[in-house]
Amino acid sequence: MVIQQDGLIFRVGKRMPMGERPVRLVTAHSLFHRVIWPAFGMLWIMLALGLAFDMLKSGETWGLLMPGVFLVVGFFLLLFGFRALLWSHTVTLSSDAVRVAERGTQTGKDWQEPLASYRGVAPFNVEVKRENRAFPMPTIVLDHDDPALRIVLWSSLSSKRRDETCRDYAAWLGLPVVEALRHKLPAEDDDRAAVRRG
């Protein structure tokens, strides 16, 4: 499951590998979303076209609105599927910088920030909102004064061993363990909500 909330983008259970830098963490939708949605959209469109051709062949042109609506629905399903297929979010940690590249059907949000500008490594609970409920998702973040520049290094369904792992990440990066800042994020239509490019 990919979580995109409060300026953070991560896939539950994925972790930044601790090894010789540069290291990379790629977040993408599951194989199910990348394959099933485009296939379902294509099937829907083919069925709608088949229905339209059958109606034309039998001279029932009065009911062509129905397959037309089906075609529009199929087009949106296909578009949704291709967006899931093409989208990816890549974080690269080098010895002195953080680089983020986002790919997809829209213009990528690429930026770079010096590692020295980060406050440190912090345990952080992301309040994940789903329908009418919210629940905390344990994560470890590379914390920054600007919430749009935070990076998720580790996530899990359980906070077990999170503090120990947080210390390991801090030692690996040469940064302190800190308490995550609580930010009031700007509204999505506010210019400050846009990703800053360094």
Digit-coded pLDDT (tens) for 156-168:
999 899 999 999 9
SS3 (DSSP) at 188 = coil
The reported pLDDT for the residue numbered 29 is 84
Q: State the pLDDT at residue 58.
A: 85
What distance in Å separates the CA atoms of residue 41 and residue 105, rounded to the nearest whole number?
17
- Is the pLDDT at 128 greater than 60? The verdict is yes
Would the pLDDT of 55 be above 50? yes
Report field, pTM of the whole predicted structure over 0.85? no
pLDDT for 106 beyond 80: no
pLDDT at 192: 39
Q: What is the pLDDT of residue 105?
A: 66
Q: Quick one: pLDDT at residue 24? A: 95
| Domain assignments of the chain as residue spans, ordered by start | 2-28+87-182, 32-85
**Euclidean distance between the first and final Cα of the chain, in Å?**
29
Q: Is the pLDDT of residue 13 over 60?
A: yes
Rounded to the nearest integer, the mean pLDDT of the chain is: 85
Scan for tokens 């229905």, then name that residue. 51
Residue 41 has pLDDT above 60, yes or no: yes
Contact present, 74 and 45 (Cβ < 8 Å): yes
pLDDT digits 0-9 by tens, 63-89: 788 888 888 888 888 888 888 888 899
Which residues have C-beta within 8 Å of that of residue 44, sequence separation ≥ 6? 70, 73, 74, 77, 78
Tell me the residue ranges of DSSP E strands in 55-169. Answer: 88-93, 97-103, 111-114, 120-130, 133-143, 151-155
CB-CB neighbours of 137 under 10 Å: 21
